[in-house]
Amino acid sequence: MRVAQDAPIPLQATFDCASGNMLALVGPSGAGKTTLLRMIAGLSTPVDGQIECAGQTWLDTTQQRNVAVRDRRIGFVFQQYALFPHLTAQQNVEQSCRHLRGADRRQRAQHWLGKVNLAGLEARRPDQLSGGQQQRVGLARALAREPNILLLDEPFSAVDRATRDRLYQELAQLRRELSIPVVLVTHDLDEAIVLSDQLCMLSQGVTLQSGPVTEVTNRPSSVLVARLVGIKNVFRATVLENTADGGALIEWRGNRLEVQLHNNFKPGQLVHWCIPQSHLILHRRGRPSRGERENPVTGRVADMLPLGDSVLLSIQVGRPDRPPVFLSVPLHAAQRNEIAVGVTVSFSLLAQSIHLMKPDRLGRSRR
């Protein structure tokens, strides 16, 4: 998919999703996520763009081709279910396969209601179903069309956490049987990571980065993407030299850090670098590590935030006016090492987990 326009909603977005994969469109409110979903469905048309699915061209503005909604064979699951209130669950699902004969239509509706664990509830109307059950009816209705693509528009935002977790598991199981692309719109990064194979990070209608989940979350293309995927540890450094094995050495707050991969930055170049807080290793008290590629660093604990079975440490490295390093450790490890505010600790920044990025205007003050 590729779409571009300046108005009414500015867009400059592109992404691909293979059959059998789920791609999550992730970004803040107003990023254009739902608009892109509507364009795939044919409910909105971009000024410029191309959309292909299942070997068919649904939209090509250069060729003035725009396939009608009814001919695109899409399954759409809406945030607020959009069920017919006067119809039963069975009848709601049957609405999506009215091209079939009566007996075949009933059989297909029962099949998909069974697939989403609603067997025995076919005769209930929406007001007799829970929110999670209504969402399952919406999913069954979408899949009963035998679509070429499944579109999910924040489908779990209206249900409670426990129900959401059950729906996650059911969708993951159902996806194993589907051989179509699935595109999910969500503002919840954790949800996207749990459910999806790929992420497309959006901001103000622009695709910032698209790729496999681990690639986007661990190796963001920019400081903005790093922020959007929740990486707290984003700093600036200077490249000192490139190493023979394809890595680099950088200088950061008086420390020489080894980087395993560095995207061909030149010596003397200013860069941003990031590392997920889960990729930092706290040393045992009195036993600092000096192993190869472990980049041992020392700092003072400035703050501690308990998070259930773990503790988020804010560690001051270097001058006190500079942003802290965030490190998450198990609660028992913090207690065993007598970690407290004001205590000096050592930790490692693993070379294979440090990711270098080109500098940009966001994060200039983070040295």
- SS3 sequence, the chain? CEEEECCCCCEEEECCCCCCCEEEEECCCCCCHHHHHHHHHCCCCCCEEEEEECCEEEEEHHHCEECCHHHCCEEEECCCCCCCCCCCHHHHHHHHHCCCCHHHHHHHHHHHHHHCCCCCCCCCCHHHCCHHHHHHHHHHHHHHCCCCEEEEECCCCCCCHHHHHHHHHHHHHHHCCCCCCEEEEECCHHHHHHHCCEEEEEECCEEEEEEEHHHHHHCCCCHHHHHHCCCCCEEEEEEEEECCCCCEEEEECCEEEEECCCCCCCCCCEEEEECCHHHEEECECCECCCCCCCCEEEEEEEEEEEECCEEEEEEECCCCCCCCEEEEEEHHHHHHCCCCCCCEEEEEECHHHCEEECCCCCCCCCC
Do 284 and 317 fall into the same domain? yes
Single out the residue in 227, 261, 281 at which a domain terminates: 227
Using alpha carbons, select from 276, 271, 265 the residue that is nearest to residue 354: 276
The C-alpha atoms of residue 122 and residue 93 are separated, in whole angstroms, by 9
Do 350 and 206 fall into the same domain? no
Residue 190 backbone dihedrals phi, psi, to 5 degrees: -60, -40
Do 246 and 217 fall into the same domain? no
Do 31 and 160 fall into the same domain? yes
Tokens of 93: 């699902």
Do 112 and 248 fall into the same domain? no
Q: pLDDT tens digits for the chain (367 residues)?
A: 999 999 888 999 999 999 999 999 999 988 999 999 999 999 999 999 999 999 999 999 999 999 999 999 999 998 888 899 999 999 999 999 888 888 999 999 999 999 999 999 999 999 999 999 999 999 999 999 999 999 999 998 888 889 889 999 999 989 888 899 999 999 999 999 999 999 999 999 999 999 999 999 999 999 999 999 999 999 999 999 998 888 999 999 999 999 997 667 999 999 999 999 888 999 987 665 655 558 999 999 999 999 999 999 999 999 999 999 999 999 999 999 999 999 999 999 999 999 999 887 544 435 6
- Number of structural domains (the chain) is 2
Distances (CA, A) of 65 to 42, 53, 60, 197, 284: 12, 14, 5, 30, 64
Do 111 and 243 fall into the same domain? no
Do 80 and 130 fall into the same domain? yes
Q: For the whole prediction, is pTM greater than 0.85?
A: yes
Domain-embedded: residue 168:
yes
Return the CATH number at 129: 3.40.50.300
Kind of pairing, strands 198-203 and 206-212?
antiparallel
Do 244 and 273 fall into the same domain? yes
